[in-house]
A and B are shown apart, each in its own frame.
Chain A
Amino acid sequence: KQEVTQIPAALSVPEGENLVLNCSFTDSAIYNLQWFRQDPGKGLTSLLLIQSSQREQTSGRLNASLDKSSGRSTLYIAASQPGDSATYLCAVYNTDKLIFGTGTRLQVFP
Chain B
Amino acid sequence: GAGVSQTPSNKVTEKGKYVELRCDPISGHTALYWYRQSLGQGPEFLIYFQGTGAADDSGLPNDRFFAVRPEGSVSTLKIQRTERGDSAVYLCASSLLAGAVEQFFGPGTRLTVL
Binding site for B on A (CB under 8 A): 4, 31-32, 34, 36, 41-46, 49, 52, 89, 91, 93, 95-103
What residue in chain A is nearest B95 (Cβ atoms)?
A96
The distance in angstroms between the C-alpha atoms of A95 and B45, with both chains bound, is 12
A96 and B100 within 8 A (CB): yes
- The chain A residue sitting closest to B98, CB to CB, is A96
Tally of chain B residues near chain A (CB < 8 A): 26
Cβ of A89 and Cβ of B42 under 8 Å apart?
yes
Mind listing 25 A-B residue pairs with CB under 8 Å?
Answer: A32-B102, A34-B103, A41-B110, A42-B107, A43-B105, A43-B108, A44-B43, A44-B91, A45-B105, A46-B104, A46-B105, A49-B102, A91-B42, A96-B56, A96-B98, A96-B99, A96-B100, A97-B48, A98-B33, A98-B45, A98-B103, A100-B35, A100-B43, A101-B42, A102-B40
Give A42 to B89 CA distance when docked, in angstroms: 10
Instruction: Say how far A35's CB is from chain B's closest CB, in angstroms.
Output: 12
B25 sits at the interface (CB 8 A): no
B59 within 8 Å of A (CB atoms)? yes
Asked if B31 CB lies within 8 Å of chain A CBs, one says: yes
A88 to B53, CA, bound (A): 32
Asked if A43 and B41 sit within 8 Å, CB to CB, the answer is: no
B59 near A97 with CB under 8 A, answer yes
With A43-B107, A43-B108 in contact, do A102 and B41 touch (Cβ < 8 Å)? yes
Ordered nearest first, which 5 A-B pairs have the shortest CB separation?
A100-B42, A31-B100, A93-B100, A43-B107, A44-B105
